[in-house]
Amino acid sequence: MITLEHCQARDASDELAAFRSQFDLPAGTIYLDGNSLGAMPKDAMAHANHVIEQEWGRDLINSWNKADWWGLPTRLGDLLAPLIGAGKGECVVTDTTSLNLFKAVANAVRIQRSRHPERRVIVAERDAFPTDLYMIQGLLQSFAEGYRLELIEGADALAAAVDANTAVVVLSHVNYRSGYLFDMRAVNDLVHGRGALIVWDLCHSVGAVPIDVSATQSDFAIGCTYKYLNGGPGSPAFLWANPKHQAEFWQPLSGWWGHARPFQMESDYAAHPGIRSFLCGTQPIVSLSLVACGLDIFRQTDMQKVRRKSLALTDLFIALVAQECAAHGLTLVTPTEHAYRGSHVSFRHPDGYAVVQALIARGVIGDYREPEVMRFGVTPLYLSFADIWHAVQHLKAVLDRREWDQPKFRARGHVT
């Protein structure tokens, strides 16, 4: 039997426990949705005030130079780079995940078109986060005539799908619904061995699992900063491109921020020779600035320690649900093997949406994804082992007492 005392003992020896004090978490809340929107760093408010009051309010337009707003996307990219195993000057923080995916896939398709024009297939998972598929579909309709999207049903289907017709493979490192974690090195070896390029979506892995895009020889990677990186709601995303492709860097959204000489106001576009070429237009400076607050916390961490605690917390969550809620028909959809698990735990339940709403009413915040999937994000920097214990006790009470079976918990909001 796992007890609360067992969990409290784990907390007493937790090497990451001190990081909790750097986040502004509401009292009485167990936050299990950091895989969707990370908690606010305590420094975020003061930083936002400085950007708004001093840089904008007093220094006005001078801050493009004085505060180097112009260089912010690449400075943040350099701060983020170590979390994905990238080098300086290889990453930018800009735009949205969707836009960056479009840019990366477009670049990969263009490279392959010049090298292997006969390859006309883009492979992706049917269970990818939908925006990835939508952006690929839009790309194909826009300019990749003659190309087609082939969807695979899970990781086991990848090897059979990648063949002499494959140009690009697009995969989520950690699946948004199940939490399945791909072996990046093994996938890259497979894809490259068959002559294709790989684009990784790191939204559900950056800041949660160790990543090394350079050592694994990935081609492109994109991801968001508002989940585990705690950049704030809708904070700009990031894009990484392997320097080995630099001579072929290209993106279809050729805005002035990606120009080699933007303030010469030339009528023809000339791309910046480096990663800055993936920028488009003027950046949202306030929200962009706040990304630094979360990244500054990660500069104090060791991703191997984060990963160890993540696996320990998710192990505990899975074991406690089995111990406390076995009578309620919950189906675990997250892998039990550490090598294939990200940092969230998902269960299916026929009334999963209502159960999650009843939990939220108790102060335990998770979220829901169709079909029937309750997701619980585990963020090691601000969750404790006792938090997991109490969260599962609340889940047990909601199920035992059928608290979820009320009209107010079945009513759907715009966001689930």
Q: pLDDT per position in the chain (416 positions), as tens?
A: 999 999 999 999 999 999 999 999 999 999 999 999 999 999 999 999 999 999 999 999 999 999 999 999 999 999 999 999 999 999 999 999 999 999 999 999 999 999 999 999 999 999 999 999 999 999 999 887 899 999 999 999 999 999 999 999 999 999 999 999 999 999 999 999 999 999 999 999 999 999 999 999 999 999 999 999 999 999 999 999 999 999 999 999 999 999 999 999 999 999 999 999 999 999 999 999 999 999 999 999 999 999 999 999 999 999 999 999 999 999 999 999 999 999 999 999 999 999 999 999 999 999 999 999 999 999 999 999 999 999 999 999 999 999 999 999 999 989 98
Distance CA 77, CA 100 (A): 14
Distance CA 194, CA 165 (A): 9
Distance CA 70, CA 74 (A): 9
**Is 289 a member of any domain?**
yes
Distance CA 120, CA 196 (A): 11
Distance CA 291, CA 293 (A): 5
Q: What is the pTM of this model?
A: 0.97
Q: Would you state the structure tokens that stand for residue 216, as one six-digit string?
A: 């694994």
For residue 179, give the 3-state DSSP assignment.
coil
What is the DSSP-derived secondary structure letter of residue 386? H
Backbone angles phi, psi at 164, to 5 degrees: -65, -10
Q: Catalytic residue among 129, 228, 317, 376, which?
A: 129
Tens digit of pLDDT for each residue in 243-271? 999 999 999 999 999 999 999 999 999 99
What residue type is assigned to position 10 of the chain?
Answer: R
Same-domain status, 288 and 343: no
- Is 129 among the residues known to form the active site? yes
Q: How many domains does the chain have?
A: 2
Q: Helical H runs in 240-334?
A: 285-298, 303-324
Judge contact between 287 and 226, C-beta under 8 A: no
Q: Catalytic residue among 110, 227, 341, 362, which?
A: 227
**Is 33 a member of any domain?**
no
Q: Helical H runs in 1-117?
A: 4-12, 43-49, 63-66, 72-80, 97-115
**Is 22 a member of any domain?**
no
- Is 340 among the residues known to form the active site? no
CATH number, domain containing residue 200: 3.40.640.10
- Is 227 among the residues known to form the active site? yes
SS3 content of the chain, % helix, strand, coil (to 5): 45, 15, 40
b/e map 153-185, b = 16+ CB within 10 Å: eebeebeebbeebbbbbbbbbbbbbbbbbbebe
Bridge partners (DSSP) listed for residue 64: none
- Please report where in the chains the tokens 């006969």 appear, as a residue: 118
Q: Where are the beta strands (DSSP E) in 263-389?
A: 331-332, 344-348, 364-365, 367-369, 373-377
Same-domain status, 12 and 127: no
Q: Catalytic residue among 201, 219, 367, 387, which?
A: 201
Same-domain status, 91 and 108: yes
List the domain range (segments joined by +) for residue 216. 49-298
Give pLDDT, residue 416.
84
Same-domain status, 280 and 343: no
For residue 25, give the 3-state DSSP assignment.
coil
Domain boundary among 265, 298, 331: 298
Give pLDDT, residue 142.
87
Q: Catalytic residue among 147, 182, 226, 376, which?
A: 226
- Is 401 among the residues known to form the active site? no
**Is 36 a member of any domain?**
no
CATH number, domain containing residue 348: 3.90.1150.10
- Is 308 among the residues known to form the active site? no
Q: Catalytic residue among 110, 177, 375, 396, which?
A: 375
Same-domain status, 162 and 66: yes
Q: Would you state the structure tokens that stand for residue 245, as one six-digit string?
A: 């492709």
Same-domain status, 11 and 89: no
H or E segment and range at residue 118: none
Of 252, 210, 307, 295, nearest to 95 by C-alpha is 252
Same-domain status, 281 and 365: no
CA angle 259, 260, 265 (to 5 degrees): 65
CA angle 252, 152, 97 (to 5 degrees): 35
Distances (CA, A) of 261 to 243, 268, 270: 21, 11, 8
Mean residue pLDDT of the chain comes to 97
Of 121, 86, 304, nearest to 208 by C-alpha is 304
What region does 329 belong to: left with phi over 0, alpha with psi -120 to 50, or beta? Answer: left
Domain boundary among 273, 298, 323: 298
Judge contact between 38 and 24, C-beta under 8 A: no
Domain boundary among 298, 327, 358: 298
